[in-house]
Amino acid sequence: MLDSVVAAETPEGIVLELRPAGLSARFYAFLFDWLIRLVVFYAAAFVGRFLGGIGVAFWIVLFFALEWFYPVFFELGRSGATPGKRAFGLKVVMDNGLPVTPAASLTRNLLRVADFLPAAYGFAIVSMLTRSDCKRLGDLAAATLVVHQSKPAPKVVLDMVTPLAPARPLEQRDQAAVIALAARAPTLSVERLDELAALAASVSGDEGRSGPEVTRRVLGVAQWLMGRRT
């Protein structure tokens, strides 16, 4: 299996699929957060200059808070993600798919120090590249995952195709494959769609042939399988 899906079973007996975010997505999110922190930090330095000692104190405490608690603050919020993670559609959850707990968020962010070693997040990178669930050391200890927030799949729209009964009885797997092809149809180029439809041509009784007409007939079968008869 090439997919790096982590399955989390709920007490209701269904399996939620969590898609762990890889190194590159997390790196961009980190970079984004780092830039935000940099901007806030310099803005505070600018304001702090006019306030004397209290300004400096404020600035130092802010630096400290940004360094250690910036991620904790946002991860415990409603979205469960820092602004950077949100921008790249990522989110921190527990291993079982639940929202991250305060203790876990604190743990994973304090252990960032260990992840940073020996230099430039060396251990974090090695750990994320060697594990299929892409956890860094802090995630391991806190039992958290950084996952892609799922976007709803587009609905299968095949209104312009007339339904067609399959030429032979289809197994459930075959039915699923034909419907999946129909679902992907809007995202494929016409030529590629024809090519793929040619592979499935047997469902509409068009073995060995290909072309726009065959594609239309295969999509018609998909339409029929979805339950539309007219």
198 near other proteins, rule: CB under 8 A: no
Residue with Cβ nearer other proteins (154 or 212): 154
Q: How far is the CB of 187 from other proteins (least distance, A)?
A: 12
- Spatial contact of 23 and 136, defined as CB atoms under 8 Å apart: no
Residue with Cβ nearer other proteins (24 or 172): 172
Q: How far is the CB of 38 from other proteins (least distance, A)?
A: 17
Q: Three-state DSSP class for 17?
A: strand
DSSP 81: S
Burial class (CB in 10 A: 0-12, 13-18, 19+), 221: buried
Q: Three-state DSSP class for 20?
A: strand
Taking CB under 8 A as the criterion, the residue among 23, 89, 112, 188 binding other proteins is 112
User: Would you state the structure tokens that stand for residue 156, as one six-digit string?
Assistant: 């299968």
Stretch that binds other proteins, among 6-14, 37-45, 194-202, 209-217 (CB under 8 A): 6-14
* Residues ≥6 apart with Cβ < 8 Å to 176: none
111 near other proteins, rule: CB under 8 A: yes
Q: Three-state DSSP class for 12?
A: coil
Taking CB under 8 A as the criterion, the residue among 5, 45, 87, 156 binding other proteins is 156
Phi/psi at 93 (5° precision): -135, 165
| Binding residue count for other proteins, defined by CB under 8 A | 58
Rounded CA-CA distance 210/138 in Å is 53
188 near other proteins, rule: CB under 8 A: no
Taking CB under 8 A as the criterion, the residue among 38, 61, 129, 190 binding other proteins is 61
- Spatial contact of 197 and 184, defined as CB atoms under 8 Å apart: no
Phi/psi at 45 (5° precision): -65, -40
30 near other proteins, rule: CB under 8 A: no
Residue with Cβ nearer other proteins (23 or 183): 183
Q: How far is CA 74 from CA 68, 92, 158, 200, in A?
A: 12, 10, 42, 48
Stretch that binds other proteins, among 38-46, 176-184, 189-197, 209-217 (CB under 8 A): 176-184
Q: How far is the CB of 70 from other proteins (least distance, A)?
A: 14
Chain residues binding other proteins by CB under 8 A are 10, 12-14, 16-17, 52-54, 56-61, 63-64, 67-68, 78, 97-99, 101-104, 106-107, 110-114, 117, 137, 140-143, 150, 152-156, 172-173, 175-176, 179-180, 182-183, 225-228
